[in-house]
Amino acid sequence: MGFFNLKRFNYLLMALVLTFPSIILAAEDAALDQYFVANAAYNRKLYPVAVTQFQTFLQKHGNHPKADLARRGLALSQYALKQYDKAMPQFAALLAKPRLDKTIDRERLIMLQGQCMLFSSKKDEARQLFIAQLNNLKNPTFKTAALAAICDICFGKSEWDKVLEWTKKLSASKPAPDQAARALYQQGYAFYQTEKTSEATVSLSKVAQLQAIPEWKTRAAFLLGECHTLLKEFDKAEPAYAVALPGMKGNDALECQYRLGFTRFLLSKYEPATFDFETYLKGAKPDAEGKPAPHVEESKFYIARSFLEREDYNQANQKFSQIAGAKSLTAAKANLWWARVFSRQNQFQRSAQILVDAIKRFPNSPVIDDIEFDYANALISLKSPDWKLASDALSHVERRGKFGQMPEVIAQRSTCLHKLKDYNNSLRLADSFIARFKDHSLLGDSRYMRAENLFLLNRSDESAKAYTDFIRAHKDHASVPAAQLRIAQVHHLAKRWPQALQSAQPLLAKKPEGKLFTQLSFLVGDCFFRQDKWKESIKPFEDFINERVEINNKKQYKVSAGPNLDTALIQVAVAYDRTEEKAKALEHLRTLANHYPGITPHLPLALAEQGRLSFQTEDLKTAEEPSKDL
């Protein structure tokens, strides 16, 4: 469809032009007889006769006062016969004359000549004519039509900069609603093609406000949806596609339905998205050669994903399983998300089974990195994690070097190697992460992992510095308490008791929980003990012991042996002895000597001290017992 109705426009041109004056008497000029015959033939639409008569007249009377009128009649007759190549020289001859008969409208000749060029596929010549003659067109209808034709030609040749130039001029000429709508659509399309997407949305959104035919509103709305999608403005794309859909038919309607569904999916509107995809599938038929419609697999895939996001795991499982067996990219993605159906339910074993099969079937798929990354995470999440297989999978992803989540890959592989006690390679990866991803959210995790590897490699002082740097840079990190404990342990191992307490004592006051901190109170007590600070050592030792020794009302003991319990018992006894609380010292010595369930190197000393303290407290019966054992 053009900017204007060609049939109606041609009728207007012809009707206004072809009213020939006939008031001059034939007797005044014998040549007029032939002119009037030609004129009469034209008016009766006997165009072949008119052509012959006008040509004869011009051949015999080329300089006659009516020659211009005759040439106009000849051109119009040829135009009516669609002999555009023959009409164009006649229009051109008239337009070349500086002066024409006053009854001849030069503007109409321009438009007719342009029409002939357009009908003869001489679009460049038509554009040149309209541009050259634009200032000579005073009639608003003709000027708007010429501008419209220029826009059409530029649009058809994909000359987007020129489309933008001329549609701007056309819009300023106050065109009719249909012309304005098409101009805005073409302008928006040109912006779209030149990647000026925001500008395109401004032009296209104006079409809806015009009283134009539905066709342009439909086209503009669909393209508006595309532009908003490119801008990731999905909340604006959705209503645009919804407006366009009722005006579309056939494959265009199916394409719009799919895009509407996909947009709604991105907006987490999973139920209406499912409806759109199912509607698309109902109408999507194979072509004449049996090739499926373009979005069949994708629609099934997003229906399955919609069920997953709605936590309808049974339906999601069923839908993914139906498309996971193919060999396409969509099938590879389906396996990835099918596994996620189970991982979201903490069924990591089943997730890993699906993914390991997918790795074998799609080794060269564009989503192989996603599959192996998820596989590694499933293995890590098992009740008994398979750190080796997880590390291997992550190494494949790292080696390919294309995955969008490479920081996570390196951080997780560092963790896997750490769990496998390959501290050197875990340290290497942690250092690599710190060097490459200085602004990543996992930077704190990697700094902590680096310090842990140094600690476990017995590079104690290096680890203490690494832990300190970690704490300074990541004060709110969840592993800060663990780092503070490690610093205390480093100093404790180096017998730097005050430095160890500087880190451990504030930490103990916060009462941290977890397996890592089970020795913290012992460490604090031991640091005080080693400095002969007997009184200060007692409370942390008692706290440590009370978590492991239970004595009921019947004086029945339940002792849970573990690291450093025997040492704590003997040391707290010594501390009580040094503070002259011999009865309490004896209680702990009895616990160690009589109730400790394991073998302890402190038993001889415990028995000796028990005897000595019993003698001093005049508990002679108890004093004799250790002497006998010794």
Q: Residue 611: what pLDDT?
A: 86
Q: Which two tokens stand for residue 1?
A: 């469809």
Nearest to 588 by CA among 596, 598, 580: 596
Residues 6+ positions from 388 with CB-CB distance below 8 Å: 416, 420
What integer pLDDT is reported at residue 20 of this predicted model?
45
* Coarse DSSP helix, strand, coil percentages of the chain, rounded to the nearest 5 percent: 75, 0, 25
- Write down the pLDDT at residue 289: 87
Q: What is the pLDDT of residue 614?
A: 83
> pLDDT class for 14, splitting at 50, 70, 90?
low
Residue indicated by tokens 């000595």: 612
Answer whether residue 571 is part of any domain: yes
Query: What pLDDT is recorded for position 266?
Result: 98
Residue 461 class from Cβ within 10 Å (0-12 exposed, 13-18 middle, 19+ buried)? exposed
Q: What is the pLDDT of residues 90-138, one digit of tens each?
A: 999 999 999 998 999 999 999 999 999 999 999 999 999 999 999 999 9
E strand or H helix that includes residue 551: strand 549-551
Cβ proximity of 221 and 197 under 8 Å = no
pLDDT at 304: 98
Domain annotation covers residue 303: no
| HEC per residue, 44-55 | CCCHHHHHHHHH
pTM: 0.80
- The model's pLDDT over 243-270, given as tens digits with 9 standing for 90+, comes to 999 999 999 999 999 999 999 999 999 9
State the residue for tokens 């390679």. 425
Q: What is the DSSP letter of 291?
A: P
Specify whether the CB–CB gap between 548 and 569 falls below 8 A. no
pLDDT at 2: 46
Residue 502 reports pLDDT greater than 50: yes
Residue 605 reports pLDDT greater than 50: yes
Query: Is the predicted pLDDT of residue 539 greater than 50, yes or no?
Result: yes
On whether residue 147 sits in a domain, the answer given is no
Q: pLDDT band at residue 629, thresholds of 50, 70 and 90?
A: very low
Q: What percent of the chain has pLDDT over 90?
A: 87
Identify whether the C-beta of residue 118 lies closer than 8 Å to the C-beta of residue 156: no
User: What pLDDT is attached to residue 615?
Assistant: 79
Q: Please tell me the distance from the alpha carbon of residue 14 to that of residue 144, in angstroms, as a whole number.
A: 18
Q: What pLDDT sits at residue 555?
A: 85
Q: Which long-range contacts (CB under 8 A, 24 or more apart) does 507-511 make?
A: 507/481, 508/540, 510/481
For residue 621, name the pLDDT band (cuts at 50, 70, 90).
low
Assigned domain for 270 exists: no
Give a yes or no: residue 620 inside a domain.
yes
Q: Over the stretch 442-473, which tens digit does the pLDDT of each residue have?
A: 999 999 999 999 999 999 999 999 999 999 99
Burial status of residue 184 (CB atoms within 10 A of its CB: 0-12, 13-18, 19 or more): buried
pLDDT number for residue 248 = 96
pLDDT value for 150? 96
Model confidence at 13, pLDDT cuts 50, 70, 90, reads low
- State how far the Cα of 58 lies from the Cα of 165, in Å rounded to an integer: 43
390, 402 Cβ separation under 8 angstroms: no
pLDDT in tens, 27-75: 346 778 889 999 999 999 999 999 999 999 999 998 899 999 999 999 9
- CATH number of the domain to which 568 belongs: 1.25.40.10
Instruction: Kindly state whether residue 222 falls inside one of the protein's structural domains.
Output: no
Which residue, among 226, 230, 223, has the nearest Cα to 206 in the 3D structure?
223
Distance CA 384, CA 191 (A): 57
| C-alpha–C-alpha distance, residues 169 and 187, integer Å | 11
Euclidean distance between CA atoms 581 and 573, whole angstroms: 9
Q: Indicate whether 405 belongs to any domain.
A: no
* Neighbour-count burial of 510, counting CB atoms closer than 10 A to its CB (0-12 exposed, 13-18 middle, 19+ buried): exposed
Q: Please check whether residue 525 lies inside any domain of the structure.
A: yes
Query: Which pLDDT does position 21 carry in this prediction?
Result: 47
d(CA 453, CA 424): 7
The stretches of 194-295 forming alpha helices (DSSP H) are 197-205, 214-230, 234-244, 250-266, 270-283
Q: Taking a C-beta distance cutoff of 8 angstroms, is the pair 544, 517 a contact? A: no
Counting the structural domains of the chain, the total is 1
**Per-residue pLDDT averaged across 217-225, rounded?**
97
Higher pLDDT, 571 or 6: 571
Q: What is the domain extent for residue 617?
A: 520-629
Q: Rounded to an integer, what distance in angstroms lies between the CA atom of residue 566 and that of residue 389?
A: 40
- Taking alpha carbons only, the member of 489, 497, 480, 478 closest to residue 454 is 489
**Please, which contacts does 612-616 make with residues 24 or more away whose CB atoms are closer than 8 Å?**
613/577, 613/582, 613/585, 613/586, 613/589, 614/586, 616/582
State phi, psi for 551 to the nearest 5 degrees. Answer: -125, 120
* pLDDT tens track for 181-211: 999 999 999 999 999 999 999 999 999 999 9
CA-based radius of gyration for the chain:
46
Model confidence pLDDT, tens digit, residues 158-175:
999 999 999 999 999 999
**Residue 265 · residue 305 · CB < 8 Å:** yes
Average pLDDT value for residue range 302-314: 98
Nearest residue to 325 via CA among 375, 296, 361? 361
Query: What is the arithmetic mean of pLDDT over 272-285?
Result: 96
Query: Could you tell me what percent of the chain has a pLDDT over 70?
Result: 93
